[in-house]
Structure 1
């Protein structure tokens, strides 16, 4: 009861209501223009905040139902194919050192499909929204560099 997904015509901005959290706000698109995705997200959140107040704690950040989302609540992710890097036994360890979380493309506890992974920033608590996105961006950039050097 009371669950739903609302989206724009292009399906690049979505709001999931009463899924894992009370509200999950998603901005996405194909390609590598992280700035456009972030800009759309910021504009959307500001529009929602005009009508729906969000709860924020000075120490914990934005309050959510799911404890792993406390803090900035930002989970910035990309779907990326890394066939050489993902074949390495230490792939997950490398991602851990880069503060990245690796998932299959169908969410937590799913496997990679066709060698494509969902890679995101690991931390949310103690980071600003910008720092969370930058953590993902810098880590993925490093993985791409490593992928190109792999034999």
Structure 2
């Protein structure tokens, strides 16, 4: 059960949303009935409906308008998440299952720019979350630091093609910053939609970038997802990048 202060903010947020010309999926599916059903609920991480909707309320030009503050939110606030997910993905119902992965025959994928005239680099990436932590909108400063330390401990054990260096954003020198910019590796603080969702708090604490020595495997720590794993290399050889991702991502 949320406390009175959160409930008061929720009521004000819902009223504000209804008074906008927003065409977001949030406004489309957050009816009075759904709002009344969900407004007093919270997850095991103490995330409330306010954490879910605050970005869409502050940014009425949002297309979707919601963020999940933790994994439990998808079930706790399913009356809002399920129809939005189904609408956004064009029919992915709440009982639907992800299909088995099928990469096809990557050996048949051509290099789309064999002469190197147009494609600077090619990348494949996936997002992963650390179990036991909420998502960025509800992470504490201590959790950001703890997650970064756990990642660094794992990275220290990488050998062979995976061996590389981790660069924390906090305290980063201008020389390192420019190096990562030149390599197109550096990420910046999030946009206004993420900021309104509280996904950028304590920046740059707990954020950083890892890349292997060959600069073909990257990990972004707490940029938007907990982890973003990236396989990339110069040029347009998509098949090679995908094959490398199987190794880097453990697929």
| Higher strand residue share | 1
Q: Which has the higher contact order (CA 8 A, sep 6+)?
A: 2
Q: Which has the larger radius of gyration?
A: 2
TM-score (norm: length of structure 1): 0.29
TM-score (norm: length of structure 2): 0.18
